């Protein structure tokens, strides 16, 4: 999707409705800075606000994502193209989040192991050693909780039995035995436990 084109279209539609950035922002319950970022192509409206934005601008979501008015005869094709582009964008963002999980986890684990190594082999008071080990353990636990939180929110898990895709709760994800990003969990649809792998695309069924 062309964010600059979409931004210009938002600005044009806003002006057609006789609204300022501030008045549109107030109606949507956001800051006028957010509207400014949309119109300059620096960011996109969140999916949760798109319908209300379209209602205010008197356009539909496909027109918003296309950055232009859509003729009736080309509506279906444009809708399909926009849906594919949106899915691709979501998948890319999910990949970036999972990469961030690795970049957060790996350095933290190595740092904790390094600190424990220092505590084990370097001469120092027992209290200092205990403090270093305690800090290292806390660091690993905190990072683990953050990493699981990222993984749980990104994409879906697919049941190995019925192939139902869903987003599990944080704690069911956290407490499940796992190998990498494949976790042994109970499917909310078929009720069976299986090894469920992470998928980034598709939709919750």
Distance CA 42, CA 199 (A): 28
For residue 80, being part of any structural domain is answered with: no
Query: Residue 7 — pLDDT band, cuts 50, 70, 90?
Result: very high
Convert the pLDDT of each residue in 137-171 to its tens digit.
999 999 989 888 888 888 889 998 898 888 899 99
* Higher-confidence position of 202 and 7: 7
Check whether residue 95 and residue 125 sit in a common domain: yes
Query: Residue 40 — pLDDT band, cuts 50, 70, 90?
Result: very high
Check whether residue 106 and residue 146 sit in a common domain: yes
What is the 8-class DSSP label of residue 195?
A: E
Distance CA 168, CA 170 (A): 6
The pLDDT of residue 36 is above 90 = yes
For residue 81, being part of any structural domain is answered with: no
Residue 38's contacts (CB-CB under 8 Å, 6 or more residues apart) are 6, 7, 10, 44, 45
Check whether residue 164 and residue 147 sit in a common domain: no
For residue 33, being part of any structural domain is answered with: yes
Check whether residue 138 and residue 166 sit in a common domain: no
For residue 159, being part of any structural domain is answered with: yes
For residue 109, being part of any structural domain is answered with: yes
> What predicted TM-score, i.e. pTM, was given to this entire model?
0.50
For residue 75, being part of any structural domain is answered with: no
Check whether residue 50 and residue 97 sit in a common domain: no
Q: In total, how many domains does the chain have?
A: 3
Check whether residue 56 and residue 95 sit in a common domain: no
Distance CA 140, CA 146 (A): 10
Check whether residue 141 and residue 160 sit in a common domain: no
Q: Range of 9's domain? A: 3-70
């Amino acid at each position: 999707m062309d964010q600059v084109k979409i931004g210009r279209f938002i600005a044009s539609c806003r002006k057609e409705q006789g609204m300022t950035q501030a008045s549109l922002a107030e109606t949507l319950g956001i800051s006028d800075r957010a509207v400014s970022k949309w119109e300059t192509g620096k960011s996109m409206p969140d999916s949760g606000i798109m319908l209300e934005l379209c209602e205010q601008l008197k356009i539909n979501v496909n027109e918003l994502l296309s950055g232009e008015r859509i003729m009736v005869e080309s509506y279906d094709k444009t809708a399909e193209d926009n849906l594919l582009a949106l899915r691709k964008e979501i998948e890319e963002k999910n990949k970036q989040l999972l990469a961030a999980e690795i970049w957060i986890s790996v350095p933290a684990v190595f740092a904790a192991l390094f600190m424990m190594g220092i505590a084990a082999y370097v001469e120092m008071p027992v209290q200092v050693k205990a403090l270093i080990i305690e800090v290292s353990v806390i660091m690993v636990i905190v990072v683990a909780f953050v990493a699981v939180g990222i993984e749980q929110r990104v994409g879906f898990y697919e049941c190995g039995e019925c192939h139902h895709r869903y987003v599990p709760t944080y704690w069911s994800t956290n407490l499940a035995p796992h190998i990498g990003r494949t976790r042994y969990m109970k499917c909310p649809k078929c009720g069976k436990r299986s090894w469920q792998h992470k998928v980034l695309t598709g939709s919750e069924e």
